[in-house]
Structure 1
């Protein structure tokens, strides 16, 4: 026979509570049919643990219950450098069936064949306070964390596990999150503000945790969560991409309490990477917030040049006025962002359309109120650009809307100069038909005011004769 008694458990669990004694109960059964057995209980940490009965007598084929106590502690006695504490169960035959305390001490004071080592019972602390401690100290726990956590969560209810899950998310440890979810934590629980756990993971900035939660069925709540807003505020394109691809219930253009969408947030913070992704995924750059500001208003007021350029390319908000009647241009000017004034000029879209030969866009710009003779930083009007690029249809639309045919830029060039310089005879003829004067010049034009490349137009007397007739005027 290798042992005299048998425990009913391999591990005694103590539900830990800060500042209170903890206790756990186990039973020992005498395996002897005819003889009583003396039992001695000790632990590897006698200063922390004690027993209701450190010495006892168990009658034949009978069982006794024992209570293990721990001293009050402020935090669980867990350390990565120590093994779990254990209860050592020793026994000896007791033919008389009785013994005094001194008899027990003498009986178990010296090892020998009469003393049996019956069991080593592990001592574990369990409960939500232990889980919280492990979450807070997971970096120090090392390999022991997994086993300790597995034991600790066994003493937690679903609500306690769910509360601990929120702490695990904040700790940015996906292994802890997975373990708690597997143990029964509710992934779609809400915080006091109605926000989801997915929102907490996004705020923590952990891609791995967001993946774990989404894979476990966690969903954002559009009525309370602002996960895309939070990701945009951090310029986290990786988080935005995961949320857009994996959480199908999210609305890209959802607004916060101030009416701002994720695009507004990215624009206001100057996060051009997040902005580009949101716009490419279907976010709008033209929605107004509670102040009437579009994302372009926000970026212009803050002086974010790259964001302004992106929004000018991807939205039509340049002409939008806020509740105070201000455009993005006005806000940039008010805040001293002079570098933004050129791209934000209200007629810049018209210039761009004229340069590209986009007739429909030229028409829409004019219909929206763009100034047909508005000038860029070099003094060029849209007609200068259309003439230089050979856009005859754009030039015709501009002229029909009152474009000044002989407008002079800062270098003294007219649209006709530009057309001739670039070799666009049809445009030059159109300009002359609308009253352009080939001899018009400005003293600041290099060479006296006549364009180069006149030899290209020898077959167009209207373009060549008059300028040469005025050669005498050149100094």
Structure 2
């Protein structure tokens, strides 16, 4: 005979509850027809697990129940790898009786009289164990985690499984999400606010979790879930594209607003996510939209000091001068928050060009003192110096040159300020620009400087000889 007793199961499942007394009962049956059997039970970790009857006697063909319990209350399940076990050792007891000390002596001396009948793994199960596993091993799963999860989840009902699914989704643990859905968790769950699991999956940043939920028939209500807002907040265009493809324009509106009246472009502007702004605008997002406070995306980008976002929004919107409900423009918000690197692009650059066009030297100097960029180009590639030369504003031209404006800056067609002055017949401007080093033989993209010779009677060679 290879064993004297038989356990009623191959492992002992112990339901674990945080901070509570946890125990589990199992049975051993004596297989001997005429002889009693002495039993010794030990755990591989006695400091954690204890047994009510470590030594016992079982009558012939009878069964005896045993209780395994945690030695101490705990907030965390004492999981180990490999799992803790109960070792069942037995020996025949012809007399059918023995004192406790006698049994201890019998099992303290190994030999052929002592059988090792079973090794029973201890499995901790229940929602608290699953919660612990998901929370602590989301990025570094335990070995054979899927099998472990399945075993642990055997003690969970559908409500527990769905609650655990939300946790796994929030942590971005795609393996746990898959196991929980397979175990019966409800992927179509909505919380008390009507929110589906998709927004939580987006926040986790794990694309595979989002895809798994969509594939598992998780549906959204965009006015509640605001999935594009969620994706915009973490700069994930891939999420936005996938969700639009999955749910379509009927369910997802690029211009939907949250409780503050902000659309996804507002959210991207607050965070400084230029790529998201570009994408939203490209599919019909409104960059001029004002929220409940009268703030446009440009107001937010300027307030936060996001230069690239401000530049992007200036290219696709026309709200630079729009005031919010507090009467503040984007420039005033930037100034209020000390974002001096935005002053030129939001205000002083425009003021500088305006001053140049009017030949208002006082305004031009003030703009320069306030940080206006002398060489910033407009949508046509013109610098303030181009405008001064084109308009023949000699006083402004001189101020710009004195403060270091680039004399031969070129526009989109390769024209310099000298080309502009010559084309309009402004001889004084031509002379001043040449005096500051403008190259008279610099070609535009379309050819040479023929317009200078055509509109201004001036011998450049003689002029250079006189200067020499």
Q: Secondary structure at the match of 2:428?
A: coil
Matched, 1:262 2:269: no
Corresponding residue for 1:377? 384
Query: Offset of 1:16 from its aligned partner?
Result: 1.5
Q: CA separation in 2, counterparts of 1:378 and 1:448?
A: 10
5 Å-filtered alignment, 1:410-449, equals: 441=426, 443-446=428-431
CA deviations on 1:170-197 (whole Å, 9 max, x unpaired) are 4443223333333233333344554433
Decide whether the 8 Å contact of 1:309 with 1:343 is kept in 2.
Answer: no
Corresponding residue for 1:471? none
Query: Offset of 1:304 from its aligned partner?
Result: 3.7
1:252 to 248, 251, 254: 254
5 Å-filtered alignment, 1:301-450, equals: 301-317=303-319, 322-323=324-325, 328=330, 337-341=342-346, 377-378=384-385, 380=387, 441=426, 443-446=428-431
Query: Offset of 1:71 from its aligned partner?
Result: 0.9
Q: CA separation in 2, counterparts of 1:17 and 1:300?
A: 52
Number of residue pairs matched by the alignment:
395
Decide whether the 8 Å contact of 2:223 with 2:258 is kept in 1.
Answer: no
Query: Offset of 1:90 from its aligned partner?
Result: 2.6
Q: CA separation in 2, counterparts of 1:455 and 1:190?
A: 73
Corresponding residue for 1:84? 83
CA deviations on 1:416-474 (whole Å, 9 max, x unpaired) are xx9xx989xxxx9xxxxxxxxx9x7463343899x9746997xxxxx899x9xxxxxxx
Query: Offset of 1:323 from its aligned partner?
Result: 4.1
Corresponding residue for 2:282? 280
Query: Offset of 1:278 from its aligned partner?
Result: 2.0
Matched, 1:122 2:121: yes
Q: Secondary structure at the match of 2:384?
A: coil
Corresponding residue for 2:41? 41
Query: Offset of 1:313 from its aligned partner?
Result: 3.5
CA deviations on 1:292-311 (whole Å, 9 max, x unpaired) are 23223333454544333333
Query: Offset of 1:260 from its aligned partner?
Result: 0.6
Alpha-carbon spacing, 1:116–1:321, altered in 2? closer, same or farther (3 Å): same
CA deviations on 1:106-141 (whole Å, 9 max, x unpaired) are 443433444332211111212222223323432676
Deviates more, 1:163-172 or 1:65-74: 163-172
Corresponding residue for 2:375? none
TM-score (norm 1): 0.67
CA deviations on 1:253-294 (whole Å, 9 max, x unpaired) are 221221111101212332211211222233222322112232
Q: CA separation in 1, counterparts of 2:327 and 2:385?
A: 28
Corresponding residue for 1:415? none
Corresponding residue for 1:400? none
Deviates more, 1:143-152 or 1:25-34: 143-152
Decide whether the 8 Å contact of 1:79 with 1:141 is kept in 2.
Answer: no
Decide whether the 8 Å contact of 1:441 with 1:448 is kept in 2.
Answer: no
Unaligned ranges ≥5, structure 1: 349-374, 385-405, 413-417, 429-437, 458-462, 468-475
Q: CA separation in 2, counterparts of 1:323 and 1:46?
A: 70
Matched, 1:163 2:163: yes
Q: CA separation in 2, counterparts of 1:379 and 1:456?
A: 19
Decide whether the 8 Å contact of 2:79 with 2:124 is kept in 1.
Answer: no
CA deviations on 1:334-362 (whole Å, 9 max, x unpaired) are 7763321479859x9xxxxxxxxxxxxxx
CA deviations on 1:14-36 (whole Å, 9 max, x unpaired) are 11223433211112223334444
5 Å-filtered alignment, 1:195-214, equals: 195-214=195-214
CA deviations on 1:135-176 (whole Å, 9 max, x unpaired) are 343267642644443332222233233333333344443223
Alpha-carbon spacing, 1:238–1:36, altered in 2? closer, same or farther (3 Å): same
CA RMSD in angstroms comes to 4.3
Unaligned ranges ≥5, structure 2: 354-381, 399-414, 435-439, 441-448, 459-468
Decide whether the 8 Å contact of 1:88 with 1:119 is kept in 2.
Answer: yes
Matched, 1:217 2:217: yes
TM-score (norm 2): 0.68
1:291 to 290, 293, 308: 293
5 Å-filtered alignment, 1:88-167, equals: 88-138=87-137, 142-143=142-143, 145-167=145-167
